Amino acid sequence: MGFALVYGVGRFFHAAHATTIAVGLYTAHVLCNQFGLSPCTWIPGAILGAVVTGILVEFLGYRPLRRANAGGLILLVASLSIVVIGDSILAAWFGRVPRTLDAPWIRHSFTVGEATVTAVQLSALIGLLLATGALWIVMHRTRVGLYLRATASRSDLASLHGINPEAVSCLAIVAGSVLAGFAAVLVGLDTGFSPSTGFDLLLVGVVACLVAGARVWYGSLAGGLVLAALNQLGVLYIGSEWQSTITFGVLLLILLIRPQGLLEWQAPSTG
């Protein structure tokens, strides 16, 4: 949802979203594993690390390029450069050994019928519901959300009504980075991570976003759930090595059948 939010407002491929996720992961790692702090400290710390990274990317990377009238391709190249630099710095500092967040409570599990649900999976479900609900409230019940939706719909008309596109872009980056930091915590608790984990998650997020429709922020949630279900079925019946094939095969199929995405409405041509 974070990538979809930034893309919907800025209309460019925010590849550096991967870096915000990675910084959130390693911020949590330092606070949790090295300093031994409680989740009440390192979870907000991971989100704060992601937000600070997103703001630095916006002010030191994207904004100077926008003011120089750089196009979407230049922003993409700059964003990918940030990803490579961030990956190299994290690898040099922490190495490429996979790590996990050490929290004793995640080892608990519950039995529901014949299924076993881990504490991490339950936490991820609750976190997903809370994050989705919070984002919906922000987008539909606050002035910030009104500015974000107006700019995503028609940035030119939004500017005519006095909405500052640079400020709105920064708000989108901050909101997307909060979601990135939250996702980083869940990934770190569940599957472990390395410096390249942020980019791996970004690719899945991009596919989910495009499957549902790049301009529909909530569509990435639906797309992600569909991809997760298909991947789990693939693991169950044909093996885990086919997960990437399933993910990008679904993307290719959707692009061929309905390029605008499953949930995005496309106005008919009047010409």
175-215, pLDDT tens digit by residue? 999 999 998 888 888 888 999 999 888 888 887 777 766 56
Radius of gyration for the alpha carbons in the chain, expressed in angstroms and rounded: 19
* 3-class SS of residue 118: strand
Written as one string, the DSSP assignment of 132-149 is: HHHHHHHHHHSHHHHHHH
Q: What pLDDT, on the 0 to 100 scale, is given for residue 24?
A: 94
Give the whole-angstrom CA distance, residue 35 versus residue 136.
35
Q: Residue 160: count other Cβ atoms within 10 Å of its Cβ.
A: 9
Residue 260: the pLDDT is: 67
pLDDT tens per residue across span 74-98: 999 999 999 999 999 999 999 999 8
Element holding 172 (H helix, E strand): helix 165-190
128 vs 112, which has greater pLDDT? 128
Q: What is the mean pLDDT of the chain?
A: 83
Residue 23's pLDDT band, with cuts at 50, 70 and 90, is: very high
Contact 32, 47 (CB under 8 A): no
pLDDT at 22 > cutoff 90: yes
Q: Residue 159: helix, strand or coil by DSSP?
A: helix
Amino acid in the structure at residue 59? F
Domains of the chain by residue range: 2-194
Inter-residue contact 183 to 127 (CB < 8 Å): no
Of the listed ranges 88-97, 125-134, 211-220, the least confidently predicted one is 211-220
Residue 62 has pLDDT above 50, yes or no: yes
